[in-house]
């Protein structure tokens, strides 16, 4: 009789053997009081759930959620797909448009890790066109892959650099790939940015796909709800691979409440509060000579290059403050990413960093 370990080793797909599960912020650390490591919102809002229909399967694409998000994003309802977070949107695109063992995607590191992880899980190759040192696209390099990849993932504002991709560059990429690939613009942080994103371009660019989420600005990471915006014909293809009931009924109810007029007003206020905290935090970080802000702050986090990065991380963990190490990413040696917390959390963070460098300086 085989042991479970032997079965796990012998039966799992060959391409999965070398893969590690995604190191989400939540998997890396579980304790702590100040969670500034997953770009979550510091706000938590109240919702009500009506349990009358929990004995029934939910709608695959709940109408109230779809029409509310279409209204919010100013697109047609047939251009919206709702899924378990934007992460599921990434996975559905890969499963629907890439042939395992044959097709490839293009990513532009340093960037969000899930594009490559999702691709590898389905045996899809990953090509890279690294961002330049100022974190703009290296257009020549991106265009080298025309005809060689099926999906191009561009994150704007980019996680973890907080930089936006210039509109002209994006349009050049969309044009270059117009007959051969979908260009997926991940706008998980668009509500915090200066620009309003590129959902408005959907009519003009049939190969554009926009990813959105309720996890960041809407302060709803816990419900797992994201959106894929694309031409109706592209959305129809995604229907072929999405689960029959991707969205639990309570999630649909909460999402619909978050997207009603009152919910949107509340989120708008929270975003402007967060922008103020972001400004204040950035200023405090800039005043610490051992830290250098890197990239931009178009999202709800700040990236800094830190002296004694590892000792600083360890000190913060000992104080119950969790931030995210990004130093293994391209161009980001010694870099740490700090999500914007509330005023008290940001103050505790600054006090802890200041104390650390004072003690180190002695």
Site residues, ligand PLP (CB under 6 A):
39, 85-87, 112, 155, 159, 186, 188, 213, 215, 221, 226
Helix axes 261-286, 343-361, angle to 10 degrees: 20
Which two three-digit tokens encode residue 186?
A: 């991940």
For residue 357, the minimal CB distance to ligand PLP (Å) is 29
Which two three-digit tokens encode residue 40?
A: 């979550």
For residue 40, the minimal CB distance to ligand PLP (Å) is 9
For ligand PLP, the closer CB: 210 or 353: 210
For ligand PLP, the closer CB: 259 or 353: 259
H-type alpha helices, 58-209: 63-73, 85-97, 114-121, 139-143, 167-176
For residue 108, the minimal CB distance to ligand PLP (Å) is 12
For ligand PLP, the closer CB: 231 or 255: 255
Helix axes 114-121, 85-97, angle to 10 degrees: 40
CA distance to 4, 350, 351, per residue, from 326 (Å)? 35, 19, 22
For residue 75, the minimal CB distance to ligand PLP (Å) is 18
For residue 335, the minimal CB distance to ligand PLP (Å) is 16
For ligand PLP, the closer CB: 278 or 315: 278
Measured CA to CA, the distance from residue 95 to residue 20 in angstroms comes to: 20
Identify the sign of the CA torsion 283, 163, 85, 327: negative
For ligand PLP, the closer CB: 223 or 304: 223
Measured CA to CA, the distance from residue 354 to residue 306 in angstroms comes to: 12
For ligand PLP, the closer CB: 215 or 345: 215
Angle (nearest 5°) at CA 115 between 110 and 120? 115
For residue 188, the minimal CB distance to ligand PLP (Å) is 4
For residue 159, the minimal CB distance to ligand PLP (Å) is 4
User: Assign residue 219 a region: left if phi > 0, alpha if psi is -120 to 50, beta otherwise?
Assistant: left
Cα dihedral value 260, 163, 281, 44, nearest 10: 20
Which two three-digit tokens encode residue 14?
A: 């060959």
For ligand PLP, the closer CB: 79 or 83: 83
Measured CA to CA, the distance from residue 281 to residue 60 in angstroms comes to: 41
For ligand PLP, the closer CB: 45 or 354: 45
For ligand PLP, the nearest residue by Cβ is 85
Asked if 186 contacts 112 with a C-beta cutoff of 8 angstroms, the reply is yes
For ligand PLP, the closer CB: 22 or 245: 22
For residue 212, the minimal CB distance to ligand PLP (Å) is 8
Helix axes 343-361, 309-318, angle to 10 degrees: 130
For residue 118, the minimal CB distance to ligand PLP (Å) is 11
Measured CA to CA, the distance from residue 264 to residue 208 in angstroms comes to: 26
Which helix or strand (DSSP H or E) is residue 238 part of? Answer: helix 232-239
């Amino acid at each position: 009789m085989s042991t479970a370990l032997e079965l796990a080793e012998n039966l799992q797909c060959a391409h999965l053997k070398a893969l590690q599960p995604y190191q989400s912020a939540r998997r890396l650390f579980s304790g702590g009081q100040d969670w500034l490591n997953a770009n979550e919102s510091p706000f938590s809002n109240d919702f009500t759930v009506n349990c009358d229909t929990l004995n029934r399967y939910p709608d695959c694409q709940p109408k109230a959620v779809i029409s509310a998000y279409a209204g919010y994003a100013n697109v047609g309802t047939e251009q919206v797909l709702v899924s378990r977070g934007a992460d599921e949107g990434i996975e559905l695109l890969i499963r629907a448009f890439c042939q395992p063992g044959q097709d490839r995607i293009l990513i532009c590191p340093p960037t969000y890790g899930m594009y490559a992880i999702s691709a590898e899980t389905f045996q899809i190759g990953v090509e890279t066109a690294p961002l330049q040192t100022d974190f703009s696209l290296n257009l020549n390099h991106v265009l080298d892959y025309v005809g060689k990849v099926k999906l191009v993932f561009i994150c704007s504002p980019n996680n973890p650099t907080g930089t936006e991709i210039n509109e002209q560059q994006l349009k050049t990429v969309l044009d270059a790939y117009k007959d051969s690939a979908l260009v997926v613009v991940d706008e998980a942080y668009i509500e915090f940015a200066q620009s309003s994103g590129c959902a408005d371009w959907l009519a003009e660019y049939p190969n554009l796909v926009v990813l959105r989420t309720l996890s960041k600005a809407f302060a709803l990471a816990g419900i797992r709800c994201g959106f894929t915006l694309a031409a109706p014909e592209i959305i129809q293809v995604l229907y072929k691979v999405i689960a029959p009931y991707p969205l639990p009924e309570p999630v649909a109810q909460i999402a619909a409440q978050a997207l009603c007029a009152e919910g949107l007003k509340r989120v708008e206020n929270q975003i402007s509060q967060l922008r103020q905290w972001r400004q204040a935090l950035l200023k405090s970080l800039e005043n610490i000579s051992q830290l250098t802000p890197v990239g931009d702050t178009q999202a709800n986090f700040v990236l800094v290059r830190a002296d004694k990065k590892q000792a600083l991380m360890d000190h913060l963990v000992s104080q119950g403050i969790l931030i995210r190490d990004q130093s293994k990413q391209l161009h980001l040696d010694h870099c740490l990413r700090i999500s914007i917390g509330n005023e008290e959390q940001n103050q505790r963070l600054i006090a802890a960093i200041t104390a650390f460098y004072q003690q180190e300086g002695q």
